[in-house]
Every structure is written in structure tokens, then in C-alpha cells.
């Protein structure tokens, strides 16, 4: 499930654009709306990242801008190692 959501978010992130960025803070434009993304805090105004634990399209757009892999920022409870420990 996590991979499907992440892949869908990656496709959607192609529609987003960077309007402004700080060190790790970004303002992302998406269809007339703007969203503030804080990569260090794993925060986006759309709140999908905090609710799911999977980077939202706006966060993925910011990671693409920094040439970073968004797969590395999925919460640990989706990882195989965490599942096997339970």
C-alpha cells in the first residue's frame, strides 16, 4: 500500500512548482493553491504527510528540487524491519 501511495504522489508532484525556498522550507504552488513544506519537521500545509507518514506530492516536489530520494522519508512503521519485529 505504501509504495502505491508514494508512486501516485510522485506522479502528482510533477504538477507542483517551487515558488520559494529557505534552507529546508519551501512554498509549493499547486493548481492555484500554495502549500508551505518544512522538510526537517516532516510538515506540509496539506497535512497528508503527517496523517499518512508518507511524503505528500508537495514534499516530494521539494525533495526533487534538492535531488534527494523521497523514499527515505517514509515513516518507519511502513518498513519491513518494523513489521518483522512486531
pLDDT in tens, 1-38: 678 999 999 999 999 999 988 888 999 999 999 999 99
Nearest-angstrom CA–CA distance, 45 and 51? 11
Q: What is the pLDDT of residue 84?
A: 81
Integer angstrom CA distances of residue 54 from 29, 37, 58, 63: 19, 14, 11, 13
Instruction: Using DSSP, state whether 66 is helix, strand or coil.
Output: coil
Strand ranges, E, within the chain:
17-21, 25-30, 33-38, 43-44
Calculate mean pLDDT across residues 33-46: 96
Rounded CA gap, 24 and 31, in Å? Answer: 22
Per-chain mean pLDDT for the chain? 91
Model pLDDT, residue 27: 96
Amino acid at each position: 500500500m505504501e509504495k502505491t501511495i508514494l508512486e501516485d504522489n510522485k506522479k502528482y508532484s510533477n504538477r507542483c512548482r517551487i515558488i520559494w525556498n529557505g534552507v529546508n522550507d519551501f512554498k509549493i504552488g499547486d493548481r492555484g493553491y500554495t502549500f508551505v513544506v518544512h522538510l526537517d519537521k516532516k510538515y506540509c500545509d496539506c497535512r497528508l504527510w503527517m496523517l499518512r507518514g508518507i511524503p505528500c506530492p508537495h514534499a516530494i516536489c521539494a525533495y526533487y528540487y534538492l535531488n534527494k530520494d523521497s523514499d527515505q522519508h517514509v515513516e518507519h512503521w511502513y518498513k519491513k524491519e518494523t513489521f518483522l519485529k512486531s
